[in-house]
């Protein structure tokens, strides 16, 4: 495994087990996955997605669930880099908004609407890795 060069979307296996999936657009989508209306593995509930959304459940909704996604690979990690997206999934679901429905929930310092895209996050100089 040492010295192995991987490219986006490739996998690294060790003893027949996948130990690394390199960062790709598909992996970013996987981390935001929530298709509760059509995905049989979610059993008809937005709470059962990779990016859970309890605000979308039919009975007793709550402002609870996945709040962000971060993906990286070895090369990026060695440079202190990652791709990150703030907020619950919006790929196949409505953008989460702090509306009057959630007026009793404290959300100081958070935006009213979580409508963000993946961004490259990296240290700013001076930073020694």
SS3 88: coil
pLDDT tens string 2-12? 444 444 445 54
Q: What are phi and psi of 100, to 5 degrees?
A: -60, -20
Contact 5, 18 (CB under 8 A): no
Residue entry with tokens 């953008």: 95
Mean pLDDT within 43-56: 96
What kind and span of H or E run contains 19? strand 17-21
Mean pLDDT within 6-25: 54
pLDDT tens string 87-97? 999 999 999 99
| Spans of all domains in the chain | 11-101+110-121
33, two tokens: 């996955």
Of 2-6, 44-48, 56-60, 80-84, which range is least confident?
A: 2-6
SS3 letters across 29-57 = HHHCCCCCCCCHHHCCCHHHCCCCEHHHC
The pLDDT of residue 22 is above 60: no
SS3 96: strand
User: Is the pTM for the entire model greater than 0.85?
Assistant: no
CA nearest to 32, candidates 86, 101, 102, 82: 86
Q: How far apart are CA 14 and CA 36, in angstroms?
A: 33
């Amino acid at each position: 495994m040492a010295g192995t060069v991987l490219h986006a979307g490739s996998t690294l296996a060790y003893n027949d087990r996948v130990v690394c999936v390199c960062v790709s657009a598909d992996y970013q989508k996987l981390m935001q996955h929530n298709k509760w209306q059509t995905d049989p593995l979610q059993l008809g509930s937005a709470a059962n997605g990779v990016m859970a959304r309890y605000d979308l459940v039919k009975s007793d909704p709550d402002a609870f669930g996945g709040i962000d996604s971060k993906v990286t690979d070895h090369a990026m990690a060695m440079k202190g880099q990652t791709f990150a997206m703030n907020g619950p999934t919006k790929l196949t679901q409505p953008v989460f908004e702090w509306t009057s429905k959630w007026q009793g929930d404290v959300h100081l310092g958070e935006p009213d609407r979580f409508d963000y895209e993946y961004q490259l996050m990296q240290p700013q100089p001076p930073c020694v890795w």
